[in-house]
Amino acid sequence: MEDILKALICASERAASVAKSCCIGAAKDSLLVAEKGEGEANARFDKDFKTIADVLAQESARYEIALRCPDLAKQLRGEECAEIGGVTIKLCESEEKTAELLSSLVPLQAAKRMAEAAHGEIKVTLNNPPVHVADINPCDLGVWIDPIDATAEFIAGVRGEADADRGLPCVTVLIGAYLRSTGEPIVGVINQPFYSGGKGRIIWGVSYGKTRKWSEGDTSKHSIDKTVLISGAENPAIVKKFKACGWEVKSVPGAGHKLLKVAIGEAAAYIVSKGSTFRWDTCAPHAILRAQGGDLLCYTTHKPVTYNDPMECDTQQYANSGGIIAYTNTKVLEDLKKILN
């Protein structure tokens, strides 16, 4: 288990390094923003975008996990199609070759910075790792990768066009492992690359068998305050219900960012009544919430979300179509049910 957790953490840090590399130099001209095609776009948005950083970060994370856990190589799935601007992005056999590939899409200096980030040495110290965890069959594991969650905030932040409480601090890298046999999320990593002015931070959790452990260790931070997070497109009738019961309703960017806030106790819950989040958004945070005694449920059925979908599906089939309810405290869940009913 420790090897798997460390692989996911290192993969998240490599993806984070790629994201950070875009903030150096003339980044406005080096992001290569492309509109997603019909098959890969989020139906919630009129237009959905990805950047060269999204794609390279994902392929870098894939490479890192496959290198450290070869048995997982064929069970890695990500949000992004590897093609952008007519070029299929991959990590080549050397930093120079990767830079050459990227330079067909962005200026050479930007390509070199990105390639250096993708190939550079990753140093991660895993403090207080989980011990006495039951054996896991690697053949029963799958992984979901969201390389840069909140891409719109990432683009605005890199270009210096974001408001003070938005932009780069809302960006997360999400990598979660699940059991292919049951669909349960068991290991999750949330990397916040631009936290504290770019210092960054990593939150992880393990929920497997009798083991429940997360990086912060202390569950006393669990929020039972009446604060619920929503998306800007949430049903106004639901917002009205919460406000009528004395809850504070906040809309902040990024599914991963909102789930992180629930995990670290800055909000009691995150509610989505529509199918606007996807497996790659929720797998990693879900494992962390479960490590704390919480869960991530389908909004309509109140059953836990699972992640063992068939490997080759259309993007929309990976949506959490019934919505989600995320929380760390079971008392909060009971309060949410009363309000929503």
- The more confident residue out of 125 and 296 is 296
User: Which domain-ending residue is among 162, 190, 214?
Assistant: 214
Task: Assess whether 151 carries a catalytic annotation.
Answer: yes
Which pTM value belongs to this model? Answer: 0.93
Same domain, 33 and 161: yes
Identify whether 150 is part of a domain: yes
- The more confident residue out of 147 and 224 is 147
Identify whether 100 is part of a domain: yes
Same domain, 244 and 290: yes
User: Which domain-ending residue is among 214, 235, 262?
Assistant: 214
Phi/psi-derived region of residue 58, left when phi > 0, alpha when psi is between -120 and 50, beta in every other case: alpha
pLDDT in tens, 63-82: 999 999 999 999 999 999 99
Query: Which entry of 64, 80, 184, 281 is annotated as an active-site residue?
Result: 281
87 to 41, 109, 119, 235: CA distances (angstroms): 18, 18, 19, 39
Task: Assess whether 146 carries a catalytic annotation.
Answer: yes
Closest CA to 106 of 28, 13, 196, 2: 28
Query: Which entry of 51, 98, 151, 282 is annotated as an active-site residue?
Result: 151
Same domain, 92 and 177: yes
Please, which pLDDT band fits residue 47 given cuts at 50, 70 and 90?
A: very low
> Virtual CA dihedral for 86, 92, 94, 98, nearest 10 degrees?
20
Same domain, 28 and 88: yes
* C-alpha triplet 269, 271, 275: angle, nearest 5°: 150
Task: Assess whether 288 carries a catalytic annotation.
Answer: no
Please, which pLDDT band fits residue 125 given cuts at 50, 70 and 90?
A: confident
Range of the domain at 173: 2-214
Task: Please state the domain count of the chain.
Answer: 2
pLDDT for the residue 156: 92
Task: Assess whether 218 carries a catalytic annotation.
Answer: no
pLDDT for the residue 238: 96
- For a pLDDT cut of 70, what percent of the chain falls above it? 92
Please, which pLDDT band fits residue 11 given cuts at 50, 70 and 90?
A: very high
How many Å apart are CA 322 and CA 287, to the nearest integer? Answer: 19
* CATH of residue 270: 3.40.190.80
Alpha-helical regions (H) of the chain:
2-21, 52-68, 95-102, 108-119, 151-158, 195-198, 236-244, 255-263, 279-291, 330-340
pLDDT for the residue 46: 43
Q: Which residues of 96-113 are buried (b: 16+ CB within 10 A; e: fewer)?
A: eebbebbbebbeeebbbb
pLDDT in tens, 288-302: 999 999 999 999 999
Identify whether 221 is part of a domain: no
Please, which pLDDT band fits residue 42 given cuts at 50, 70 and 90?
A: very low
Indicate if the pLDDT at residue 138 is higher than 90: no
How many Å apart are CA 150 and CA 14, to the nearest integer? Answer: 18
Indicate if the pLDDT at residue 49 is higher than 60: yes
| pLDDT (mean) for 115-144 | 87
Task: Assess whether 163 carries a catalytic annotation.
Answer: no
Task: Assess whether 79 carries a catalytic annotation.
Answer: yes
Identify whether 48 is part of a domain: yes
* CATH of residue 93: 3.30.540.10
Indicate if the pLDDT at residue 41 is higher than 50: no
Same domain, 161 and 299: no
Provide the terminal-to-terminal Cα distance of the chain, rounded to the nearest Å.
40
Same domain, 93 and 13: yes
Same domain, 164 and 18: yes
